[in-house]
Each structure stands twice: as C-alpha cells, then as structure tokens.
Amino acid sequence: MSILVVEVLSEGIIFGADRNITYTDVNGSTTQGTSRSKVFKWPTERFLFGFVGAATVGGLPMDEWLDSIKDEFANITLAIIKVTSGYKFQTAAYRTDFS
C-alpha cells in the first residue's frame, strides 16, 4: 500500500484516482468491491490524502479509519502527518487482535 499526501497551495493542484476498491481475502484471492473515494481532504482542508492498495485498515474501510484518527492530526505539519499516519497504518494493518 502507498500513501500519498499533498499540500494544497493557492496555485492549486490536480489530484485524481479511480473509485474501484479491490479486497484481498486471507487466501490471497481478490474481489472487486464497492466504489469508494480514494482521495480526501484530510486531516484538514489544507491537505489531500490519497491511497492505493489496502482498502481496509483495522477492519474499517480506509475513509472510515482515516476519519477515526483525523483529530490527532489537526494542527501538525506535513512531515509529521507523513510519519505518524504511516506508523498508525502499519500498526493497524498488521494487528491480529481486532477486539
């Protein structure tokens, strides 16, 4: 999975992605799932956050997982968002106890 974070400047930016979500089960089989956004204004309106690869994190669709940790990133820099969100993703994605 790759995470893309872009700072939005006054000059603007074009950032796009498809909406096709593919799920991989524990056997490695893939299925085409629902259509969901892959690019968000997150954690604030100043940044765009996009993803490719993993559609779920910690048992949640990516958009719901991002929303669940959004407040932790409200007043920090792009560099900290990059490192901390990556760490949080790795921790949640490879966790085996989801209780």
Distance CA 65, CA 46 (A): 19
pLDDT tens, position by position, 12-46: 776 767 777 777 777 878 777 778 888 888 888 88
Tokens of 92: 């949640």
Domain boundaries, the chain: 2-93
* Contacts of 76 by beta carbon, 8 Å cutoff, 6+ apart: 84
Enumerate the H helices of the chain as residue ranges: 62-69, 78-93
pTM of this structure: 0.63
pLDDT tens, position by position, 64-77: 988 998 888 878 78
Q: Identity (one letter) of the amino acid at 45?
A: E
Let me know the angle formed at the C-alpha of 59 by 40 and 73, rounded to the nearest 5 degrees.
40
Tokens of 82: 């990059």
